[in-house]
Every structure is written in C-alpha cells, then in structure tokens.
Homo-oligomer: A and B are copies of this chain.
Amino acid sequence: MAEPLRIALAGLGTVGAGVIRLIEANAALIARRAGRPIQVTVVSARDRNKDRGVDLSAFAWEDDMVILGERADVDVVVEMVGGSDGPALALARTTFEAGKSLVTANKAMIAHHGLELATKAEAAKVALKFEAAVAGGIPVIKGLREGAAANEFQRVYGILNGTCNYILSTMEDTGRDFGNVLTEAQAKGYAEADPAFDIEGTDAAHKLSILAAIAFGAKIDFTAVATTGITRIRAADIAQADALGYVIRLIGMAEPGRNGDGPALFQRVHPHLVPVDHPLAHVDGATNAVVAEGNFSGRLLFQGAGAGDGPTASAVVADLIDIARGEIGAPFSVPVSELEALVPAETGHRAGRSYIRFMVTDRPGVLAELTAAMRDAGVSIESLIQKGRTEEGGEVMVAMVTHEGPESSVSEALRLLDGSPSLTEAPLVLHILED
C-alpha cells in the first residue's frame, strides 16, 4: 500500500475530536477506499492539557498552529479552529504557502476569504476542500461540483441552518412561541448561548454564498446575500401557514438573474412558506436539505444531518479521501480566474406570491386601510384572515396571501402603510416557495 496521507489537525473541539475518532474507528476501510492510510501526525489547539475524550499521545503537539503546514511530517492541514479571520485564516495562508492542502469546515472563512484562498491553493496546485462547511455531513458541495456538474443550474435552495429548522419545526409541532422554543433549544445544545449568528440567518447566508459560487460559477459574494432571520416568526404565523397548507422554513436560495442586459446573481436567505407537498416541508429538526435544479438532471435533493461532530467529521474525512486519491481540482469547480463577478440581482421585478402579516389595533376601518394600500400598490389579495378579535382597541393579527405579482408592489404597499397608527409593529413579509 502507498505511503500514508499525513494530517495535521488544528483545533480540538467536539468536531476536531470527532475527526480523530472517525479516522481511528474506520481506519481500515478508509485505507482500502483511499488506497492509502490516513493518519493524524500532529495536533494543535489552545490548551494542551484539556481532556477531550480522545487519546492524543500518538500525535506530535505543535504550540503554534499557524506553522502546521510547514512541518515535514504533514501533507494536509485540517482546520477546525473556526472564525473567519484570526488564526484560522493565518493557518490557511501559511499552509498554501508551504505547498500543502487544506481541509476546513469553516464556512465563515470560506464565505469571506474563499476567493483569496482558492487562488493560493490553485497557484500551489494543492487542494482546498470544504465539504463540511455546508450542510454538515451531506455531500452537497460534491453533488454540485461533480455529481451534477453536467448541468446549468436554474436554482439552488435549501434548509441550511439546523438551529433555525429545529426552532421552526418545534414551534410547528408544539404551538409554542419563538422565545420559548429558543430557550429550550439552547438548553438542549441545538442553539448557541449567543444565537444571533444562527437565528438572524448569517450562518445560512455563509453557506448559501458558497453553494451559489459553485453552482453559478460566480466569485463568492457573501455581502450580496439579502438576509432575514426567523426572530419575528410567531406561533400564530405558523398556525396560519398550516391552515393554508404550508409550513414555514428558513430557505436560502440562489439563482441567476438579469439586471437590464447584464447578468446578475440572486442570493437570499428568508423565511418561506413551503407547500406541504414539497420535499422540504418534511425536513424537521436539525436536518438540512439542499435542492439543486439542473437543466438536464431536473430537481435533485440532498438531505441529512446539518451539524454535529459525527456528520461534520464524515464530510472532513471524505475530503481527505479525495485528496488521498489524488482528486485535487478547483475548489469552486472552475478555476478562480474563470469565476464571474456577478452583481446582486435586483428583486423588484421578481414575480411571486407572498404571505403578509400585520399586527394592528382592532378598530373600525383598519381592514379597509390595509386593503386600500394593497389596491393602490397593485397587489392582488388571494386570501385574508383576521385573527384574535378582542375588545375594541386591542391588537389583532391580519394575515393575507397575495396572488402572484412583482415583489416591488408588495414593498410599495408597505411603504404606503409606513407610519400608519393602525400598525402596532412592522408588517412581516414571507415569500411562498414556488415549485
């Protein structure tokens, strides 16, 4: 058998420890499939003495993780440190400068610095792989980059954040409100102590920007992702969606667009109403799922665990097996020099249906005011419901679903209502996922 592929592992949190466990547990079959053993030779983390539940005694220890790639006993560096900048980025740069490959689960770093790093990897003719950065253990990067590589993609979308999906599907199952379920999710470890990164959609946006770059041959542009989280979703919205035949899911979506005559790229993370007969409507808990629509493949669905040490380690080691087999290739499917710089697509002309929810003071004429604004903006209402009738002057919810029309009309209607004393909070607009 060929020489082992020698791994330096930076970062020994739960995922880093999971990688060590996987490489040990499945060593024999990995060697058979990769054609050579995959061996951790050296590790590095902040605290050498912390107990991580894995035996590190067989590995060298390096205090300065940034120089891991420079060691003679290392072929590939696995970066499990996290953070878009700082030590993770420094490590990635020095690794490529040393002519070694890098595998990472670091979606923030790829979203912010993926182009620079891919350029360096390509110049050094080494691998930069990040399957674990998107949708945990689901091989969706490989699915887009290789499995569906023959297709022009028409749209890529999916459920990219397990925390949000856990919260939304638990709200759906229990009828409980957002804050209540978030607190429970934190207690169970499904949400971080500081959950903003997840529940405000940033994490999903990182992942979406990576998928979009690969699918559409675009220079990665995280800042162009229009991002809305799930913090404003109420139990009443979920109940109303249910009554209409939908569930609510946080969907990241990317597709090609045109601004005038020029090509553009649409990237958005936003809560959507998903029809109950759509495969994504059955994605519950912390599960992730990605749909890719190819011009020949049709609709492909990839689904599985979106996080956790086991699934993440599975994706990291799949990347290592690729490298052991000699599969290097362009990180974003085409060389960086051929990626297009696509401007963000204007969205006003996008046609679609929307769910619009108002919280209003319960008094005569409010409904007339809302519907007049819709009429004046050219928004056609498919259905409307008023919930929670109270004594005069209390707060009620008015939820409507529009017929298909341009998004700009909905924006215009909300502009007409802006500042109205009838509204007790800003209206909530959710898009309806169309097949």
Contact = CB atoms under 8 A, between A and B. Distances in A.
A413 interface: no
B303 A298 contact: no
Interface stretch (A89-97, A147-155, A375-383): A147-155
A26 B321 contact: no
A296 B311 contact: yes
Interface stretch (A28-36, A76-84, A263-271, A361-369): A28-36
A26 B151 contact: yes
B299 A305 contact: yes
A284 to B, nearest CB: 8
Contacts of A327: 146, 325-327, 329
Nearest to A332: B33
A92 B326 CA distance: 26
Given A149-B321, A150-B314, A301 B300 contact: no
A146 B322 contact: yes
- Copies of this chain, count: 2
A279 to B, nearest CB: 6
Interface stretch (A136-144, A196-204, A238-246): A136-144
Interface string A260-292: 000000000000000001010010000001000
- A interface residue count range (under 10 / 10 to 19 / 20 to 34 / 35 or more): 35 or more
B297 A314 contact: yes
Given A29-B152, A149-B318, A150-B317, A310 B325 contact: no
Interface of A: 18, 22, 25-26, 29-30, 32-35, 131, 137-139, 142-143, 145-152, 217, 277, 279, 282, 289, 294-305, 308, 310-311, 313-318, 320-322, 325-327, 329-330, 333-335, 338
24 contacts: A18-B296, A22-B296, A32-B338, A137-B297, A139-B143, A139-B148, A142-B146, A146-B318, A146-B327, A147-B147, A150-B313, A150-B318, A279-B279, A279-B282, A282-B282, A296-B314, A297-B311, A298-B310, A300-B302, A300-B304, A302-B302, A325-B327, A325-B329, A327-B329
